[in-house]
Amino acid sequence: MAINREKRPLSFYFLAAFFALFVLFLYGPMLTIFILSFQGPRGGLTFPMNGFSVHWFGNLFEQQAVGDFGGSFLRSLKLGLIVMVVTVVVSFMAGLAFRRRFYGDSIVFYLAIASLIVPSILISLGIGLLFNIVQIQPNWFTSALGAHLTWTFPFGLLIMFAVFNRFDRSYEEAARDLGASPWQTIQYVVLPMVAPSLIGVAMFSFTLSYDEFARTLMTAGALNTLPLEIYGMTTNVTTPVLYALGTVTTGFSFVVIAVALGTLVILRRRGAK
Amino acid sequence: MAATESKRSSYFMITPMALVFTVFLVVPLLTIIVVSFWDYDEYRILPDFIFENYRYLLGSPVTWKIYLNTFKYAALTWLFTLLIGFTVAYFLAFHIRSLTWQIVLFMVCTIPFWTSNIIRMISWIPFLGRNGLLNQALMGMGLTDAPLEFLLFSDFAVILADVHLYTLFMVVPIFNSMMRIDRALIEAARDAGAGAWNTLRHVVIPLSKPGIAIGSIFVITVVMGDFITVRLMSGGQSASVGLQISNEIGLLQYPAAAASAVVLLLTVLLIVAALLRLVDIRKEL
Amino acid sequence: MTTENTKPAKTALIDKDVTRRGFVKGAAATAGVAIGSGAITGFPTIWAQNIKDVTLRQFGTGVSNINAVADKVKEDLGFTLQMTALDSDAVAQRAVTQPNSFDIADIEYWICKKVFPSGTLQPMDTTKLSNYDKITPIFINGKLTPESVIAQGTAPHTVGFVESADSVEFAAEPTQWMTLIPTIYNADTLGIRPDLIGRPISSWTELLNPEFKGKASILNIPSIGIMDAAMVCEAMGEITYGDKGNMTVEEIDKTMAIMIEAKQAGQFRAFWKSFDESVNLMASGEVVIQSMWSPAVAAVRSKGIDCIYQPLKEGSRAWGGGIGLAKHLSGLELDAAYEYIDWYLSGWVGAYLNRQGYYSAAPSTAKNFMSEDEWGFWMEGKPAQGDILSPDGNIMEKAGAVRDGGSFEARMGSVACWNSVMDENRHMVRKWNEFIAA
């Protein structure tokens, strides 16, 4: 605690300034998007500004000349949520399994690492070719879901490793000594303790899936997800409506993150009681 | 009895993950390997067993040029993400003392990631362009007379966008390693008279190595396989291995794409194997 | 939102429904055609009640996969058309590799040359189309007027027909079986920023003129880009091609050597692959001369920036697109698809496309849906009497404006070459990749 009372060293201010610059760097382009999304009705994707209006925000919710933002957004949202739920459940299960050694555990572990490092476009190509050869129609909720899971599982598993490596087993033993069944132990002891990390896994996997482009490219089938739609849009949309979309999704992200943070705080308070 | 019981439950618990990896990772990769030996014409892939795809790929000077270019992107991106990522992680781990603030600052860094990568990338264009914000600012301040052309549609732009997109992936694992450094060690170093710099060099950096290795693996593999950043930020003027594969896919030359993919995969595996010698990931988590 | 996704599962259900009751419907539809052909409007000819349940999935480039068309189909024909817009690479890819993911393919003729032989499309019976005879002869025998010379490259009529209903061999002469029903086409040339160039431009050679060093761009779709490159090299007098649409290995190598040299000298600012990139490059002043597509020029102009679609003395590079039917279509869906195609030729879409600066495959029907002033401006090269509006109602050209390149006959009459796929395609793509990596 003594450290806390210490005066901030000079390096703190340097590093704080560096961090501020880093944040500025992350948000800089967002700022361009933000400003340009308020282009006038005749404005383009680049400077100079051509008037000032909220025209493109309204336009975002209208039918575009081509494509379908609404449908692909809903599809991406649904896919992201499915990926999220599946990743949380499966990673948690795998995390529990990995607490003991079992035959083949290192194979699964190295598969997870491989899944992390194989370039996304190869997953896309491989699944696309596979489905093509066995004559199965790719679809966002089959092949694309699988492609996304190969991306989110490794993260989920690694986070679970980090959690369980530092997990104090004496709580479980205490529960067992008190006569709890294995399932009860998980439900009432393990789950509440790892819940914050599971929320982390959930947010992480949703984010990864929601914005995944390369893995979806050849696996989405007939209907586009949002990143594919945006990519498709760039082939024929020349209006700031893309930027309006960027501004709206960022706003949406702030809301979701606020909700997630709120949940975390509430969970912690409950844990503290 | 209990042991077999628990073993069985382990198998049950791991099955879903193993299954997904088998169907969507192992089998597709095998498919790529098989197809890389196939032949193709303008619109079909023809089952065969030929080495033509590899022969052309490895024999063409273009391939070597493209790999060299890709290595350049990967190396420079790695260097910058490492420097920036380490500094940011150091700040968050050692100077921010409350967990809540750490989480909040992390969130601040994460939010931009929820806007489509593609949109974030194309938003650099109006910023860096010939008549973009930066050039206008520079000329307005009288620092330059003519717009700086190298800012956009150049290697500079590609690496800038890569660093922008991937630095966070370096921050997280390094931060994770740093948080696990026993603070008493740092106290001890200081008590022994080590300055801030020596503490950093002899205590913090060695103990952050696992995080650095994990972050590096991530950044390097992502950049090695990237195609969209290179295409958009170089104005289509540069090539990377990923872009070559995506072009071949676009032109329906799947066997050629598959052969390129196999070579890329081997390259990436070699790099990762080298990095893994520095760290045992499973122990370090 | 008519393009709102109906889940494929639902479509599959309809499929099943159709096959189960297929026979009855087929009979009803045949009767319908018989009645309908006598109707005044020519459509709708299907009277089956469940036509409203039909959903046809169309995919293609953003050029003609317009939501307004789907809305109008719903209004005029009653069934649902689901549109997916992709880039031209992805279009070819999906047409070949995912034949069940679409019902109607909206593709270009050069892509058709690649795709049709793979057997994922079925030829169309022209006798079922009441508007077949309205199609411009460019797509039938390749000649705009009887005196026209057929341009080099994959001229649409050469891949427009097959011998029989189940053939994948292209026919030399028009037959009853058409691979694609033509919908849209245009003659492409270079786009320029006259305000930044300040002098007249009249030849393809200007693309490589060192005067525009660091301010030129070419499109990075190999099969199309090579054509623009060939137009330039030929205009420079460096190479004389036997057929620019089907170059020899030597011609390809020479062409690409010239382009690589220019690239290394810093001639190009960027290469573009998508429509918006070309618009942004031009609008932001990054580039002052480049390969361009007609509506991209219009898009730059609509932002109040001066941009010309410059007619050049060596002629232009043309492309054409059409719609084809997926192999798996049958029964009621097939009838609906025929209905749609005939409707496509009946004028409303044609007028819509004409107003965007493209050309309709059946000009005479499109004329009925355009005002005299519009027709005069877009098709006859006459000065606009009043303001010319885009399909969504924005002012595109002020009164008095004349279209770049003039009339339909002048523009389509000066085609030097059609977009194409070469026999040496593989070699060409490899060389092109060298160019990009150079």
DSSP B188-213: HHHHTT--HHHHIIIIIHHHHHHHHH
Homologous superfamily in CATH for domain C188-315+414-437: Periplasmic binding protein-like II (3.40.190.10)
As a whole-number percent, the residues of chain B with pLDDT over 70 amount to 95
How confident is the model at residue C401, as a pLDDT?
Answer: 87
Residues of A in contact with B228 (CB under 8 A): 213-214, 231
Q: Which tens digits make up the pLDDT trace of C166-180? A: 888 899 889 999 999
List the single best residue of C1, C88, C104, C193 to mutate versus A (max A Cβ within 10 A): C1
The answer to whether the Cα torsion of A47, A50, A54, A57 is positive or negative is negative
CATH fold group of domain C8-179+319-345:
D-Maltodextrin-Binding Protein; domain 2 (3.40.190)
The DSSP annotation for A134-151 comes to: TT---BIIIIIHHHHHHH
Structure tokens at C219: 């499109």
Q: With contact defined as beta carbons under 8 Å apart, do C100 and C106 qualify?
A: no
Residue C392 reports pLDDT greater than 90 = no
The arithmetic mean of pLDDT across residues C131-154, rounded, is 86
Residues of C in contact with A139 (CB under 8 A): 8
Structure tokens at B253: 């030359």
Residue C26 reports pLDDT greater than 50 = no
How confident is the model at residue A208, as a pLDDT?
Answer: 86
The arithmetic mean of pLDDT across residues C261-282, rounded, is 87
Q: Which among A46, A66, A224 has CB closest to C280?
A: A46
Q: With contact defined as beta carbons under 8 Å apart, do C346 and C77 qualify?
A: no
The DSSP annotation for A184-251 comes to: HHIIIIIHHHHHHHHHHHHHHHHHHHHT--HHHHTTSBTS--HHHHHHHHTTT--STHHHHHHHHHHH
Q: With contact defined as beta carbons under 8 Å apart, do B36 and B262 qualify?
A: yes
Domain residue ranges of chain A, discontinuous segments joined by +: 66-236
Q: Which tens digits make up the pLDDT trace of A80-136? A: 999 999 999 999 999 988 888 888 888 998 899 889 888 888 899 899 889 888 888
Structure tokens at B134: 């930066």
| Distance of alpha carbon B228 from alpha carbon B234, whole angstroms | 10
Residue C65 reports pLDDT greater than 80 = no
Residue A263 reports pLDDT greater than 70 = yes
How confident is the model at residue C50, as a pLDDT?
Answer: 65
Q: Which among B236, B244, B250 has CB closest to C271?
A: B236
How confident is the model at residue A236, as a pLDDT?
Answer: 60
How confident is the model at residue B5, as a pLDDT?
Answer: 62
List the single best residue of C284, C290, C431 to mutate versus B (max B Cβ within 10 A): C284
Q: Which among B62, B130, B250 has CB closest to C437?
A: B62
Structure tokens at C270: 């960027």
How confident is the model at residue C33, as a pLDDT?
Answer: 40
Residue C25 reports pLDDT greater than 70 = no
Q: CA angle at residue C179 from C176 to C182, to 5 degrees?
A: 100
Lowest mean pLDDT, pick from A5-9, C243-247, C371-375: A5-9
Q: With contact defined as beta carbons under 8 Å apart, do A149 and A160 qualify?
A: no
Q: How confident is the model at residue B283 (pLDDT cuts 50, 70, 90)?
A: low
Work out the mean pLDDT of chain B and round it to a whole number: 86
Q: CA angle at residue B218 from B212 to B219, to 5 degrees?
A: 85
C427 touches chain B (CB under 8 A): no
Q: How confident is the model at residue B1 (pLDDT cuts 50, 70, 90)?
A: very low
C288 touches chain B (CB under 8 A): no
As a whole-number percent, the residues of chain C with pLDDT over 70 amount to 87
Residue A222 reports pLDDT greater than 80 = no
How confident is the model at residue C252, as a pLDDT?
Answer: 95
Tell the residue number behind the tokens 């779709």, with chain if given: C221
| Distance of alpha carbon C273 from alpha carbon C278, whole angstroms | 8
Q: Which tens digits make up the pLDDT trace of B236-257? A: 888 889 988 888 887 778 899 9
Cα A143 to chain centroid, rounded: 18
Shortest distance between the Cα of C87 and any Cα of chain A, in A, equals: 6
Q: CA angle at residue A230 from A227 to A235, to 5 degrees?
A: 135
Shortest distance between the Cα of B112 and any Cα of chain A, in A, equals: 7
Work out the mean pLDDT of chain A and round it to a whole number: 82
Residues linked to residue C292 through DSSP beta bridges, in sequence order: C189
Q: Which tens digits make up the pLDDT trace of A176-191? A: 888 888 888 888 888 8
Q: Which tens digits make up the pLDDT trace of B92-106? A: 988 888 888 888 888
Burial grade of C430 (CB within 10 A; 0-12, 13-18, 19 or more):
buried
C119 touches chain A (CB under 8 A): no
Q: Which tens digits make up the pLDDT trace of A136-150? A: 888 888 999 999 999
Residues 6+ away with beta carbon under 8 Å from A83: A145, A148, A149, A152, A205, A206, A208, A209
Q: Which domains does chain B have, with CATH numbers?
A: 60-284 (1.10.3720.10)
Lowest mean pLDDT, pick from A262-266, B258-262, C85-89, C363-367: C85-89
CATH fold group of domain A66-236:
MetI-like fold (1.10.3720)
The arithmetic mean of pLDDT across residues C397-418, rounded, is 88
The answer to whether the Cα torsion of B190, B193, B198, B203 is positive or negative is negative
Subunit contact B252:C280, Cβ cutoff 8 A = no
As a whole-number percent, the residues of chain B with pLDDT over 90 amount to 29
> A48: cis peptide before it, omega within 30°?
yes
Q: With contact defined as beta carbons under 8 Å apart, do C279 and A234 qualify?
A: no
How confident is the model at residue B101, as a pLDDT?
Answer: 85
Q: How confident is the model at residue B8 (pLDDT cuts 50, 70, 90)?
A: confident
Shortest distance between the Cα of B248 and any Cα of chain C, in A, equals: 9
Label residues A10-20 b or e (16+ Cβ within 10 Å = b). eeeeebeeebe
Burial grade of A9 (CB within 10 A; 0-12, 13-18, 19 or more):
exposed
pTM as predicted: 0.81
For CATH 3.40.190.10, list the domain ranges present in chain C.
8-179+319-345, 188-315+414-437
Q: How confident is the model at residue C23 (pLDDT cuts 50, 70, 90)?
A: very low
Q: How confident is the model at residue C104 (pLDDT cuts 50, 70, 90)?
A: very high
